[in-house]
Amino acid sequence: MHNPDQQRQRLLRLALTCNALFSLASGLFITLADRFVVHSLGLADGSSLMSLGIGLIAFAIFLFLSARRPLIRVFLARIIVLMDVLWVICSYALLFIVPFSFGGTWMVVIVADVVLAFGIAQWLGIRKIRKGELHA
């Protein structure tokens, strides 16, 4: 990474990659252990989170592809931050709607907080890129 543009993108690239790894791991776990996850969250026996798991895997692929570009598109990174913020808002809203088990509530909160941390890191990475563009 000798290019100044690539140097400024290091934080964003790292945050996107970590987000992708977390999303992939979460998606695979939910997909492969659907019954266990449903039971752990305290959801009804007929419930399934398979579509959520598959969606997370697809999101992870999108994140990996975005992070691997020679120059990351800031517009796409902003959309990813927005998606992370929406995940967090919806997660906390679900706590008031869905009767999760005690452990399930904590799982939702912890995942939402991790996603929020990725969103903040990505936002800081975007700011670093924009700041560098102003001084270039």
Full DSSP string of 25-60: HHHHHHHHTHHHHHHHHT--TT---HHHHHHHHHHH
| CB proximity list for 37: less than 8 A, separation 6 or greater | 29, 30, 49
Contact 29, 57 (CB under 8 A): no
Considering only CA atoms, which of 121, 129, 114 is closest in space to residue 75?
A: 129
pLDDT band at 4 (very low <50, low <70, confident <90, very high): low
* pLDDT tens-digit series, residues 59-79: 999 999 999 999 999 999 999
Name, in order, each residue with C-beta under 8 angstroms of 61's C-beta and a sequence gap of 6 or more: 20, 24
pTM of the model: 0.91
Give the model's confidence band at 135: pLDDT under 50 very low, under 70 low, under 90 confident, else very high. low
Nearest to 121 by CA among 86, 89, 87, 77: 77
> Hey, where are the domains in the chain?
4-131
> Rounded distance, CA 110 to CA 17, Å?
19
Query: pLDDT tens, 5-34?
Result: 778 899 999 999 999 999 999 999 999 999
